[in-house]
Amino acid sequence: MSSSHFVVGGVPEHFNAPFHLGMKDGTFARHGVTLDFVDCLGGTGEMTTKLNNGELDVAVALTEGLIAAIAKGEARFKLAAEYCRSPLIWAVSTGANSEVKSVADLDGKTFGISRFGSGSHIMAIVLAKNNGFVQDNHWRVLRNFQGLRDGVNTSEADAFLWEKFTTKPFHDTREVVKVGEIVTPWPAFMVAVSDAALQREGATEKLAALFRGIQESCANFARNDDGASVQYVADKYGNTLDDAAKWFSAVEFSQDGALSSAVLTNVVSILKEADVLTADIHAPPQALVAPALARII
C-alpha cells in the first residue's frame, strides 16, 4: 500500500458527508491523496479496535472515546486534529412499548451499547452521573445502531444513546421512542491516526496533505451552494429536508484542525468525574496527540 493512500474509518452519518463528496469531486486527489472510507457501524469502539489492529490508518471518531482509550494506555493511535467543533447531541431512546417515560426512570436499568468504550457507553455513564442515579446501571453489547433499536424492542435493553438526527427517522415512525437528550460538553469528533501510519516513510507530509483535503472538503460542504449539502444529507441519510437543514444549521466543522489544550484537559477531567477514567491517570494534552501533526492552542 502506498504511503499516500489511507484507509479512513467513520460512522455512516451526516458528519462524514464531506469525505464522500470530497472523494467524488476530486478534492482529495488534488492534494495528492487517495483514500478508502470504511463505514464503521459499531461506532467509536469499533474504530479504536481497528486503529489498534491496523485495519484503519485514520479514524474520525468521538472525542470522548478516543481520549479515554489513549489516557488508559489502551491505544496504538494518537489525536491529530479536531474535526467537528460543535458538540454532539445524543438522543436517549427506548422501545416502542417501553414503560420508561423519562430519563429519571433509567436509574439502575440496562443500557444497550455498541461496545465498551464507545460513545454510547461513555455518554450513558455521563448521563447517569449527571442525573444522580444511585443504582448501578447494567450494560448489554448490541454492536450497532440496528442492534440497539432491536434490543430495546425485545427487552434486551431498556434504553440506548445515539446521535439525535440519525435516530430521528426512527422516532418519527415510532420504532423507538425518544425520552431525553444529552449534549456533549466538548467537540463532537476528532481525527486519530494509528501509530503504524505515523511510522511510515514520509508520513508527516502525506498525512498533512490528507488533512488539507479534509479541511477543504469540509469548507466546501459548509458553503451549501444552492442548498446542495442539505439536499445531499436528506437523500443519503434518510432525513426530511427540514431535519437535514436543522442538523446543518447546528454543525460546525473545524477550519484548521487545531486542538484546544483547555478542551483536552476538560474532557479528561469530566471523564474522571464520571468514573470513566480513574483519578490517578495522568493525561496532559501533550500525551494525547501526535506531536508531528497536531497543533495545540
- Grouping H, G, I as helix, E, B as strand and the rest as coil, residue 36 is strand
Say what angle helices 241-250 and 164-172 make with each other, to 10 degrees: 160
Say what the pLDDT of residue 1 is: 39
Q: C-alpha distances in angstroms, 115 versus 44, 84, 127, 142, 213? A: 8, 22, 17, 7, 30
Q: How far apart are CA 65 and CA 259, in angstroms?
A: 16
Specify the length of the chain in residues. 297
pTM: 0.92
Cell numbers placing 251 = 454543525
Q: What are the two backbone dihedrals, phi and then psi, of residue 202, each rounded to the nearest 5 degrees?
A: 70, 20
Nearest CA among 194, 150, 162, 179 for reference residue 54: 194
CB atoms within 10 A of CB 282: 7
Say what the pLDDT of residue 166 is: 96
| Residue with the three cell numbers 423519562 | 102
What structural domains and CATH numbers belong to the chain? 5-86+188-288 (3.40.190.10), 89-183 (3.40.190.10)
Nearest CA among 163, 227, 184, 193 for reference residue 63: 184
C-alpha torsion angle, residues 100, 104, 105, 110 (rounded to 10): 100
CA 72 to chain centre: 18
pLDDT tens digits for the chain (297 residues)?
344 999 999 999 999 999 999 999 999 999 999 999 999 999 999 999 999 999 999 999 999 999 999 999 999 999 999 999 999 999 999 999 999 999 999 999 999 999 898 899 999 999 999 999 999 999 999 999 999 999 999 999 999 999 999 999 999 999 999 999 999 999 999 999 999 999 999 999 999 999 999 999 999 999 999 999 999 999 999 999 999 999 999 999 999 999 999 999 999 999 999 889 999 999 999 999 999 999 999
Q: How far apart are CA 186 and CA 189, in angstroms?
A: 9
Nearest CA among 259, 243, 147, 257 for reference residue 210: 257
